[in-house]
Amino acid sequence: MTKRRYFFQKYSIAGVFCFLFLLPGLGVQSLQAEVTASATLNANTFPMDRVATFSITAQGIRSFQPQIPEVDGLRFHQRGQSTQMQLINGDYSVSVTSVYLVEALRVGSFTIPAIQIQSKEGTTQTEPIQFEVTVPQTTTNTARQQQSGSSSTSRLRSGEADKVAFMRVTPSKKKSYSGEVVPVEIKVYFRDGMKVNLNSLPQLTGEGFVLQQLEREPIQTSEAINNSRYMVLTWESALSGIKEGEHKLSLEVEATLLLREQRQRSLRGHSMFSDPFFGDSFFDDFFGSYREKDVKVASPELAMSVLSLPEEGRPEGFSGAIGDFQLQVEADPVELDPGDPITLTMTVSGQGNFDRVQAPQLGEEKGWKTYTPSSEFLKDGAKGSGKKVFEQALVAKDPNIKEIPAVVFSYFDPTTAAYKVLRSAPIPLTTTREMVPLSTEPAAVGKEEQLAETETPVALGQAEMRIKNLAPLQVTPGDTEQELRPLFMKKWFQLLFVLLLVCIVVAGIYKIRAARYANNPRLQRDQKMKNFLEPRLRELDQSLAAKDTRGFLATCRTAIQEQLGLLWKTEGAAITVADLQKRLPGDSILVKIFSAAEESAYGGQELSSQQMQEFADGMKKELDELR
């Protein structure tokens, strides 16, 4: 056997043991990193006609979708999510903040319960937050006052002439209904050639409206205004009125401008608007040094109205959908066996507030068993455009049903200021077998029919609960077990496994030893010498006991020949005294014994018991040494 083969076999066996010990480790889940989360509300108390900002920040994860709980009297509007990444002294950290506007529907004390945050990195939850909602106020604008109080940041409000940065907000209309989606274009202008870092997305200030989540990456273009060229960042979004009445809105965005300073002038004592960077003269000094300036670019105030939806003509089942919608309904299968479920796919497409679009209803639900529909919204380009697909399972309970009734969806059309009801055409059904009403179906008995035929009849109420076509009962109880446990938790299996393990380990050790022996000629020779010597030593003992000198010496000679033959890799029988004298030291007892044996064979030399014992011991000792 080659060395390579020996190693392969050795490592194969080692592999068996490794696998054996690794096997119980299969299926162990990897450890998850710890994450933390916190929730904050920007005010402990706020009036009912205002909104508060609710932020959830999760540290140690890259993204999450918090499950906002249902809180009676509160409504949450998502404003966006931002991610912060930091690398400080080699420590990398990441946090994600999700921002919501909290709208109160009544006055009172509220608690936003703990919110669980799950992500690939781990699970955590926030602390509950308590706050008060007070009676509505009318004109104070706390938020704006707070913003005007922020001293370190300059506020740039358009008027656009000669400005280095300004913002334009263009809603598609200024009057809208509560909940209606109003597309809006937000453009932020920076003087061409300026170095700008954008620190936030445009934020809405003011009450009564929410702004839909903005794309992180705006469209970047260039425009000329008043003979100056501007770099323009554009977001397409939508506003949605949440409070009826007149509202003044503004949008602002935080940015850092990298400005070149004039070397000759001191900026100290200059007011914000007398600062040279607001005029073209600022750019005069090419060799000026740079400084950073944090600014908030704000849009002019917009006057917007939110109208209430008319009560008159409001259809039953109206869910608050406002816009322009179409309804498409499909059913599958339409050829079916009795009791088969039908999947009804209802697609509401168009433009509007899809968050308020709920599943269309069956015009007539009698005779049908309906299940909660699932829904999926598919965006289609512009804000507020797309389609919402609902899938609902239906099962016909009535055997006479031949069609799926019309599906009804109602919405408010703001263009015509009227409610509209969409009604799909009924969908005909084909049943492949005759339907049997559930309540008249006989009990599903088969194998057990022979049992208790004379017992009391079924109660009607119970019969109605029956499920058709259940396979019949089993008639024999089978072998029982006391517990439902996996095989590896049972003692006999564990014992068997341990026994197997021991057997494999023993067999493995044996195999390793055998492989080692097969690849080691010295070991083989030693083993062979041992095997030859043992019977010879027994014969010597017998000759010694019988005081048979000839036999003793003859055995000694044979033993020496065999052992030296293996040692010298030659034919043992061919070894003579001359060989011994030539290859062994002169005082070797083996030479002496061999010579004595030769003489005994021809001359009949006699030895005393003591001599024989000395010869035997000496021979054993020297043969051992030679090995």
Partner 1 sequence: MRDQKLQNKSLLLFAGGWLCCFFLLFVFISAWATEQAGKSQFQEACAAYSRGDYQAAIRKFEALTREGMSAPLLYNLANSYAQDGQSGKAILNYERALRLAPGDSDTIGNLELVRKEKGIFQEEHSFGQRFVHLLGLNQWLGVTAFAFLGFAGVLLMPPSIPMKRTSRYTLATAFLLVTVTASFGASGQYKHWNDGVVIAADARLRVSPFESAASIGSIQEGRLLRPGKSHNNFVLVEDESGRSGWLAADAFERIAIP
Restricting to residues 57-96, which ones interact with partner 1 according to CB under 8 A?
67, 69-71
Q: Indicate whether 467 belongs to the interface with partner 1 (CB under 8 A).
A: yes
Output the furthest CA–CA distance in the chain (Å, rounded).
Answer: 145
Q: Give buried/exposed letters for 358-371 (b at 16+ CB in 10 A, else e).
A: bbbbbeeeeebeee
Q: Indicate whether 457 belongs to the interface with partner 1 (CB under 8 A).
A: yes
User: Got the DSSP string for 220-247?
Assistant: EEEEEETTEEEEEEEEEEEEEE-S-EEE
Q: Indicate whether 511 belongs to the interface with partner 1 (CB under 8 A).
A: yes
Site string for partner 1, 338-377 (x = CB under 8 A): -x-x---------------------------x-xx-----
Q: Indicate whether 436 belongs to the interface with partner 1 (CB under 8 A).
A: no
Site string for partner 1, 313-332 (x = CB under 8 A): --------------------
Give the one residue of 38, 125, 178, 595 binding partner 1; rule: CB under 8 A: 125
User: Got the DSSP string for 102-135?
Assistant: EEESSSEEEEE---EEEETTEEEEPPPEEEEEEP
Q: Which residues contact 397 (CB under 8 A, 6 or more apart)?
A: 367, 368, 369, 438
- For partner 1, the closer of residues 272 and 470 by Cβ is 470
- For partner 1, the closer of residues 280 and 464 by Cβ is 464
Q: Indicate whether 200 belongs to the interface with partner 1 (CB under 8 A).
A: no
Reading the block at residue 232, the tokens are 């323009």
Span interacting with partner 1, options 8-16, 133-141, 204-212, 359-367, rule CB under 8 A: 8-16
CB of 407 to partner 1, least distance (A): 18
Element (H, E) at 81: strand 74-88
Q: Indicate whether 443 belongs to the interface with partner 1 (CB under 8 A).
A: yes
- For partner 1, the closer of residues 14 and 425 by Cβ is 14
CB of 5 to partner 1, least distance (A): 8
Element (H, E) at 517: helix 491-518
Element (H, E) at 618: helix 609-626
Q: Indicate whether 274 belongs to the interface with partner 1 (CB under 8 A).
A: no
Q: Indicate whether 476 belongs to the interface with partner 1 (CB under 8 A).
A: yes
Give the one residue of 479, 571, 587, 625 binding partner 1; rule: CB under 8 A: 479
Give the one residue of 31, 161, 224, 452 binding partner 1; rule: CB under 8 A: 452
CB of 484 to partner 1, least distance (A): 4
Q: Is 446 exposed, middle or buried (0-12, 13-18, 19+ CB in 10 A)?
A: exposed
Range 221-250, binding partner 1 (CB under 8 A): none
Give the one residue of 316, 474, 578, 602 binding partner 1; rule: CB under 8 A: 474
Span interacting with partner 1, options 111-119, 292-300, 570-578, 600-608, rule CB under 8 A: 111-119
Range 393-422, binding partner 1 (CB under 8 A): 393, 395
User: Is the N-terminal amide bond of 399 cis, ω within 30° of 0?
Assistant: no
Rounded CA-CA distance 595/576 in Å is 9
Give the one residue of 31, 161, 303, 471 binding partner 1; rule: CB under 8 A: 471
Contact between residue 210 and residue 77 where contact means Cβ atoms under 8 Å apart: yes
Rounded CA-CA distance 220/190 in Å is 11
- For partner 1, the closer of residues 258 and 523 by Cβ is 523
Range 22-41, binding partner 1 (CB under 8 A): 23, 26-27
Long-range contacts of 550-555 (CB under 8 A, 24+ apart): 550/600, 550/601, 550/604, 552/607, 552/612, 552/615, 552/616, 553/593, 553/596, 553/597, 553/600, 553/601, 553/605, 553/607, 553/615, 554/597, 554/600, 554/601
CB of 240 to partner 1, least distance (A): 24
Span interacting with partner 1, options 149-157, 175-183, 297-305, 455-463, rule CB under 8 A: 455-463
Q: Indicate whether 127 belongs to the interface with partner 1 (CB under 8 A).
A: no
Q: Indicate whether 485 belongs to the interface with partner 1 (CB under 8 A).
A: yes
Total chain residues near partner 1 (CB under 8 A): 73
Residues 208, 212, 213, 217, CA torsion sign:
negative
Q: Indicate whether 458 belongs to the interface with partner 1 (CB under 8 A).
A: yes
Q: Is 285 exposed, middle or buried (0-12, 13-18, 19+ CB in 10 A)?
A: middle
Give the one residue of 225, 435, 504, 626 binding partner 1; rule: CB under 8 A: 504
- For partner 1, the closer of residues 135 and 489 by Cβ is 489
Rounded CA-CA distance 178/307 in Å is 6
Q: Indicate whether 109 belongs to the interface with partner 1 (CB under 8 A).
A: no
Q: Which residues contact 179 (CB under 8 A, 6 or more apart)?
A: 240, 241, 242, 309, 320, 322, 353, 356
Estimate the crossing angle of helix 3-22 against helix 491-518, to 10 degrees. 170
Span interacting with partner 1, options 110-118, 306-314, 581-589, 615-623, rule CB under 8 A: 110-118
Span interacting with partner 1, options 107-115, 139-147, 419-427, 540-548, rule CB under 8 A: 107-115
CB of 11 to partner 1, least distance (A): 11
Element (H, E) at 407: strand 407-413
Q: Give buried/exposed letters for 86-121 (b at 16+ CB in 10 A, else e).
A: eeeeeeeebbbebbbbbbbeeeeebebeebebebeb
Contact between residue 52 and residue 102 where contact means Cβ atoms under 8 Å apart: yes
Give the one residue of 159, 269, 381, 478 binding partner 1; rule: CB under 8 A: 478
Give the one residue of 60, 73, 80, 113 binding partner 1; rule: CB under 8 A: 113
Span interacting with partner 1, options 50-58, 294-302, 351-359, 437-445, rule CB under 8 A: 437-445
Give the one residue of 3, 19, 159, 585 binding partner 1; rule: CB under 8 A: 19
